Amino acid sequence: MSPTPGPGPRLARSLAAPAPGWTAEADAIVIGSGIAGLTAALELRTHVPRVLLVTKGRLQSGSTVWAQGGIAAALDPSDSPGAHLADTLTAGGGLSDPDAVQVLVTEGPARVRELMARGAVFDRAADGDIALTREGGHHADRIAHAGGDATGAEISRALVAQIEAVRHDPGIEVVENALVLDVLTTAPAADGARRACGITLHVRGEGSRDGVGAVLAPAVILATGGIGQVFRSSTNPAGATGDGIAAALRAGAVLGDLEFVQFHPTVLWLGSGAKGQLPLISEAVRGEGALLLDVDGHRFMPGVHEMAELAPRDIVAHAIVRQMAATGADNVLLDTRHLGRDFLRTRFPTINARLLEAGIDWSEEPVPVAPAQHYHSGGVVTDLDGRTSVDGLYAVGEVACTGVHGANRLASNSLLEGIVFASRAARDVAARFADGELKPGEPAERPGGSALVAAAARSRIQKVTSAGSGVIRSARSLADVDERLRAVRADAHLAAEVVAEPQAAEWETTNVHMVARALTRAAWLREETRGGHYRTDFPRPEDAWKRRVRVWLDDAGVLQAR
């Protein structure tokens, strides 16, 4: 009999933190300064009187800046939204919501043109049209890029400039260096439902917006990005600690598709001791003709998939892991030498510079690469307007589970999803605010106590999760992860023998721990292999699992999955 995790753990419904020392009010709060958060804030500003934009670092530090490859949309006359839809559904492994994908591909081209109207400058072909390229899973050239391999940085620059231009507008306030702690909710109504009514946050600043405070608002939009720091190695920045997912779970929201974690196939291999944010070698490099070789020089992808190196990411990542196991190596090789030095420097200037910093000239030698955590297809379950199961709470971008990605995100659909669904969420908030449907509420205490995990435990959590809930999983590995995470104290603030205080490092580590527990529970429940979820004990997809695994906390604070 396969080992099974114990019963769902009881999780606290709030973070251990000092009482708010200050209070503010807004009509809508946007949390995050990536493409989704910035888009939502800009859309809301012209329709809602008081918008508060909260960002964990500086305004320019959203995860979007790290996106290399590009943004996918049917911009070429020879392409079509229908073709884009077909590729997205194929990559999603049978779990993408066709309605959500239809929204993405039909509204996507207009949103990309709005980006250009807001100042984003994309690379142009010789004839003056937008230069389009191809990435894994796409059957047409539909990836627009900027600065060669700096698409995210250009989009972020343009949107931040728009925010900066209106920063002194009394209708929008930007709070930087602020970690959101919890989503505030009202007392339950007769049907047991709670409404979002604001947030608590910790601001590392000066004056009235310093320390722990509370902001009350009838609408909260989470745009907090991904969960990369749940794993030992990731392409995500250090701030990607799953804060939005954890806060939504504590607030009573339903999560979905948590088990579908995308491990990017080609991340620069820097040795077995490497951890934290690792340099990504964009899929666009393979789109331009780069080849994958094992350490013996054998090109292995043509025997795996008809699209070879341009197969969907989950297929390439799993093939690499199998090839590494077969050769006993810690990495494979990405061969770009045939593309030429001039082309590589011009088309991929950022990657070229990072490789040279690492002592690698990719025009002369193959690049050592291996899979690392890159993107999370799951998150807070939403409808097509970004609404979650908690009224007044919205989620957009990577933190959301819109149904677009299913079991595996199609390359370069993430930036597109961010702008399409952020725009829809902002319009929905604006309409409900105008109709008087969104009203201020009084925050109520949620039962279940508070949680705090010592910052010192983070590396152990990451190591355990990476080993058992990483690229390849099994019932045994997942039960082991569950047991080891269960042993991590989540009440460190109450334990005299543990050094832990309510502060940023502990709050982030608590979120990492909570997300790891929820993800592992969902991965254990799904007994099949599909997309970004690979089970050695259930190596094939099963029709019975063509459904979403949902995770939530019940009234007693016990983690449930179904």
Quick one: which of 469, 527, 386, 553 has its CA closest to 8? 553
**Burial grade of 562 (CB within 10 A; 0-12, 13-18, 19 or more):** exposed
User: Phi then psi for 480, rounded to 5 degrees?
Assistant: -65, -45
Quote the CA–CA distance of 532 and 91 in Å, as a whole number.
10
Beta-sheet pairing, 379-381 with 400-401: parallel
User: Phi then psi for 351, rounded to 5 degrees?
Assistant: -65, -40
The number of beta carbons lying within 10 Å of the beta carbon of residue 470 is 22
Quick one: which of 269, 270, 276 has its CA closest to 236? 276
**The residue type at 208:** S
Report CA 384 to chain centroid distance, whole Å.
Answer: 18
Asked whether the beta carbons of 16 and 493 are under 8 A apart, the reply is yes
Quote the CA–CA distance of 520 and 178 in Å, as a whole number.
29
Q: HEC string of 383-401?
A: CCCCECCCECEEECHHHEE
Buried b (16+ CB within 10 A) or exposed e, 269-299: beeeebbebbbbbbbbbbbbebbbbbbeeee
The number of beta carbons lying within 10 Å of the beta carbon of residue 484 is 18
Note the residue count of the chain: 562
Residue 408, C-beta contacts closer than 8 angstroms, at least 6 positions apart: 91, 92, 93, 260, 262, 312, 313, 314, 377, 531, 532
Look at residue 349 and give its three-state secondary structure: helix
Q: Where are the beta strands (DSSP E) in 168-252?
A: 172-175, 178-185, 196-203, 211-216, 220-222, 233-234
Residue 389, C-beta contacts closer than 8 angstroms, at least 6 positions apart: 252, 253, 254, 381, 552
For residue 450, the surrounding DSSP H or E stretch is strand 450-451
For residue 480, the surrounding DSSP H or E stretch is helix 475-486
Active site residue 313: yes
Look at residue 558 and give its three-state secondary structure: strand
The DSSP code for 293 is: E
Catalytically annotated residue among 313, 347, 387, 409: 313
**Residues involved in catalysis:** 313
